[in-house]
Amino acid sequence: MNKPVKLLFALVALAVSGAVAQAQSSSKIMVVDMIKLLDEHYKTQEQKEKLKADAEKAQEEADRLLATRNTLVEQYREAFDQTNNPAAKAEVKEQARAQAEQKMQEIQRKDSELQSFQANTRNLLQQRFQNFKTIMLEEIGKIATEIAKRKGATLLVDKSGPNLLGISSVIYSDAAMDITADVEAEINRGRPAASVAPAAAAPAASGGPTVTVPLGK
């Protein structure tokens, strides 16, 4: 290879390495904890209160269905006992047997109704919360992006997002590069004065079916 060609390759390599170094030096990566911002958002607390109220109404309906089912069970037992009453006439026993069978069918239908109601209500509440989370993460993401741009960031990473191992994808970040507090402050500037504060969940009553509120992440 002659000297002019070698010189040309050297100049190209120098230009490329200089461009890469410049790009690396101009990069500014910041991080934000999206899950923390979602969990502590005042709208999330309000949504949880709404879901809790709807779950309590659903629980009242589940309790009503259970009470009806328990009444049918008592009626079945009375009819069944009559079929084994040695003092009862054959005609009375036959009527009691038919009534017991009818009550058993009603109990089975009521069991199915109760199970379907619980499952449908649980799925509905979970879907509502998932839809809410999707909207809120988009809203929070826009605020985080605006703040990151104002601070000169070229890349914003969500440090709460898990990787394939189920842990945060960010191993280390300088605290100065974390804008979570800035985003939270921006969110709280628009917080209504009458917004609800986080409330502890009331314990469920024992002895009956329960309809839980999906408050997980």
Q: Identify the CA nearest to 182 among candidates 202, 156, 208.
A: 156
Span 16-42, average pLDDT: 76
Higher pLDDT, residue 211 or 54: 54
Q: Is the pLDDT of residue 214 over 70?
A: no
pLDDT tens readout for residues 57-101: 999 999 999 999 999 999 999 999 988 888 888 888 899 999 999
Between helix 90-150 and helix 180-189 the angle, nearest 10°, is 110
Return the pLDDT at 211.
53
Return the pLDDT at 60.
96
Span 28-48, average pLDDT: 95
Q: Is the pLDDT of residue 12 over 60?
A: no
Q: Identify the CA nearest to 127 among candidates 3, 214, 25.
A: 214
Q: Is the pLDDT of residue 23 over 70?
A: no
Return the pLDDT at 17.
53
Specify the pTM.
0.69
pLDDT tens readout for residues 163-194: 555 566 777 788 889 999 999 999 999 888 76
Q: How far is CA 105 from the centre of its chain?
A: 37
Q: Is the pLDDT of residue 27 over 90?
A: no
pLDDT tens readout for residues 119-158: 999 999 999 999 999 999 999 999 999 999 999 999 999 9
Span 5-28, average pLDDT: 53
Return the pLDDT at 204.
41
Q: Is the pLDDT of residue 9 over 60?
A: no
